[in-house]
Amino acid sequence: MKVYKIAYLGEDEDFFSTLERELKGANFKLVSAPGDYHGIRRVAESDPDLILWDLDNEPEPTSFSIDKFQQAGLKRQPIICIARRGTLKAAVRCLSSGAIDVVFKPIQDPFIPRAAAALNVGEIQRRLEWSSRVIEDTNNQIRAILANLKDPAYIVSPEFHITYMNRAAEEIFGEGLRGGACYTVFYDRSEPCEVCAKSDKPGRWRAVLKNGKTYRFVSALVRNSSGELERIAIGIDITPNQEVKKIHKTFISNVSHDLRTPIATIDQYATIMLEGLTGELSEEQRKCVEVIRRSNFRLFNLVENLIDANKILSGEFKLRMEITSVREVLDLVLDKLREQAEDKGLRFEVEMPDDLPRIYVDKARVAQAIANIAGNAIKFTDKGMVQVRAGFMPRDEGRVIVSVEDTGVGIPREDLGKIFDLFYRVEGDRVYVEEGAGLGLSISREIIRAHGGTLWAESVEGIGSAFHMTLPVHT
Ligand code: ADP
């Protein structure tokens, strides 16, 4: 069993003998020293667990301060002040300057419970100090690691104020930016970015920074020694190599354009055959030609998507803007989507208020994005419904929000952040059954971004998904 060392700093022999009697037989070892400079030093060397500080030592007890103990290295020990009965002012002064308790002389109540309580408080304080030191050390280590990264990294407070930037980040954005709001300084925004504002979990996002390079950022939350959750963000340079990008672009462009002609020819000839212009087809032959035509149509979609994705990748993406309404945009695609949904036995619902503000968009492109998203919703839903809803968000200058919700298979949490990446498809049985190349969502996101809007997804596996897009209203 641990024996606690109690140090009495004072010269009152009567008091000391009373203490000795009181503590006899308990797990305490009592030592004493005069309350002067040398006495305090001596006691510090013996590293006691509790200090009893006799205020009789003080020329003016109300000027008591525990600084002198701290200076002597007695930082962790709880201090009980011993005062003469009736010196209330001195007692108050002791407590307010950091002592844990005051005991009046002569001792009347049992002393052991008081000593035990003080030791207990001391132990809790010690553990707290230790934990915050560990947190502080960890934070310093993290900063040391970040300092040496060649990629930009920064730390922000819960209010999104920059508390740290590494050299690489300073080289991109400039120095002296600490204290500023990260969304303004880094991303020229007037409010926190959705990825951080909407979630207190680790996040991932892409950003083109002031040096023209593209970074994939990952962020994590770390508690600092004041108990606040700070966000650490690290960007990884994913700027495509220009040469490789050029080869990519030319390759995809050539291959896809070359494929367009044979695909059109296959469709023409399959249609001619189905219409009986090359002679009557047997039932078996008709089925075969229909399969050819359907597969060819899948190929056609793939090639058209590739051409689109290529345009987006190479920045050759022009919008034909006009003032229109969500209703007019939806009218371009709703009939086909409804038919697809009903063919699968799904309910298809559209809900939107009549008084939605006008929007300024490229009608065909936004319709393409909605068709991609709602097409996915139908594709990945076996029973239940697909719903398209539109509404108004009075944020900034006002935004129209269009949501597509389904009761389908849902998207695993770990894939949710990746489905907007080019060619990304969620691994699983479904991916082999459903046609697609993992291009639709990345194209859709680029289309919405090009309009100054946002496209994001929410999903619960096995329950369903919701995709939301915002579009700025026409002012
Ligand atoms: P694809 O052509 O493969 O559908 P997308 O880019 O449109 O490509 O979608 C990427 C992937 O995201 C899909 O392959 C699918 O795994 C997943 N996904 C998209 N929408 C949904 C949805 N509504 N429900 C479940 N999974 C979806």
Ligand 1 atom at minimal distance to the Cα of residue 443: 6
The yes-or-no verdict on residue 12 having pLDDT over 80 is yes
pLDDT score, position 154: 94
Count of beta carbons in the 10 Å neighbourhood of residue 120: 12
The enclosing domain of 157 has a CATH number of 3.30.450.20
Predicted TM-score (pTM) above 0.85? no
Q: Is 370 in the pocket of ligand 1 (CB under 6 A)?
A: no
Band (pLDDT 50/70/90 cuts) for residue 435 is low
Residue identifier of the C-alpha nearest atom 25 of ligand 1: 410
Residues 101 and 53 in one domain: yes
- Which domain, by its residues, includes 252? 242-313
327/291 same-domain check: no
Q: How far is CA 384 from CA 62, 168, 381, 411, 434, in A?
A: 78, 51, 7, 17, 18
Q: Which of 376, 378, 420, 447 to mutate to test the pocket of ligand 1 (most atoms within 8 A of CB)?
A: 376
Of 277, 453, 274, residue with least CA distance to 360 = 453
Nearest ligand 1 atom to the CA of 410 is: 25
User: Does residue 443 carry a pLDDT above 90?
Assistant: no
Q: In terms of domains, do 203 and 98 share one? A: no
Residues 16 and 103 in one domain: yes
State the CATH number of the domain containing residue 302: 1.10.287
Residue type, 212: G
Are residue 66 and residue 90 in the same domain, yes or no? yes
Closest CA to 324 of 283, 290, 365: 365
pLDDT number for residue 392: 87
Each residue of 228-254: b (16+ CB within 10 Å) or e? eebbbbbbeeeeeeeeeeeeebeebbe
User: Which of the two residues, 194 and 235, has the higher pLDDT score?
Assistant: 235
227 and 303: one domain? no
Question: Is 142 within the bounds of a domain?
Answer: no
CATH of the domain at 9: 3.40.50.2300
| Distant-in-sequence, close-in-space partners of 323: CB < 8 Å, separation ≥ 6 | 358, 359, 360, 474
- Residue 61: predicted pLDDT: 58
Q: How many helices (H) and strands (E) does the chain have?
A: 16, 17
Q: Report the distance separating Cα 410 and Cα 418, nearest Å.
A: 14
Q: Which of 313, 348, 374 is the last residue of a domain?
A: 313
Question: What does the pLDDT read at residue 162?
Answer: 93
Whether residue 27 contacts residue 3, with contact meaning beta carbons closer than 8 Å, is answered with yes
The confidence score (pLDDT) of residue 430 equals: 57
Task: List, in sequence order, the alpha helices (H) in 225-323.
Answer: 242-274, 283-313
Of 94-103, 114-123, 370-379, which has the strongest mean pLDDT? 370-379
Q: Is the dihedral of CA 167, 171, 175, 181 positive or negative?
A: negative
Residue 130, pLDDT > 60, answer yes
Query: Same domain for 69 and 115?
Result: yes
Residue with the larger pLDDT of the pair 397 and 199? 199
Helix axes 363-379, 440-450, angle to 10 degrees: 150
Q: Under 8 Å CB-to-CB from 282, ≥6 apart: which residues?
A: none
Nearest to 411 by CA among 341, 462, 455: 462
**305 touches ligand 1 (CB under 6 Å):** no
With a 6 Å cutoff on the Cβ, whether 380 touches ligand 1 is: yes
* 463 CA from centroid of ligand 1 (Å): 15
Ligand 1 centroid to Cα of residue 378, in Å, is 10
Residue 350 scores a pLDDT above 60: yes
Whether residues 225 and 288 share a domain: the answer is: no
| 449 in a structural domain | yes
**Going by CA atoms, what residue is nearest to atom 8 of ligand 1?**
438
The strand pairing partners of 361, in sequence order, are 322
Instruction: Find out whether the beta carbon of 378 lies less than 6 Å from any atom of ligand 1.
Output: no
Lowest mean pLDDT among 89-98, 350-359, 367-376, 425-434: 425-434
Q: Which burial class, exposed, middle or buried, applies to 466 when counting CB atoms under 10 A from its CB (0-12, 13-18, 19+)?
A: middle
**Residue 137 domain-assigned?**
no
Q: How far apart are CA 150 and CA 166, in angstroms?
A: 9
Residues 308, 365 within the same domain: no
**342 and 223: one domain?**
no
Q: Are residues 309 and 327 in the same domain?
A: no
Q: What does the pLDDT look like over 37-74, one tens digit per residue?
A: 888 888 888 889 999 988 887 766 566 677 888 888 88
Ligand 1 midpoint to CA 441 (Å): 7
User: How many domains is the chain built from?
Assistant: 4
With the most atoms of ligand 1 within 8 angstroms of its CB, the residue from 306, 372, 373, 380 to mutate is 380
Reduced DSSP (H G I as helix, E B as strand, rest coil) percent helix, strand, coil of the chain, to 5? 45, 25, 35
Confidence of residue 422 (pLDDT cuts 50, 70, 90): confident
**Residue 432 pLDDT > 70:** no
Ligand 1 centre to CA of 383 (Å) is 17
Nearest CA to ligand 1 atom 16: 426
**Per-residue confidence at 395, pLDDT binned at 50, 70, 90?**
low
Which CATH number covers residue 415? Answer: 3.30.565.10
What spacing in Å lies between the alpha carbon of 345 and ligand 1's midpoint? Answer: 20
Question: Residue 326 in 3-state DSSP?
Answer: helix
User: Do 231 and 268 reside in the same domain of the chain?
Assistant: no
pLDDT for 404: 96
pLDDT at residue 349 greater than cutoff 90 = yes
Residue 327 belongs to a domain: yes
Domain boundary among 99, 129, 159: 129
Q: Report whether pLDDT(436) > 90.
A: no
For residue 375 and ligand 1, the question of a CB distance below 6 A is answered with no
Q: 293 CA to middle of ligand 1, Å?
A: 24
| 51 close to ligand 1 (CB < 6 Angstrom) | no
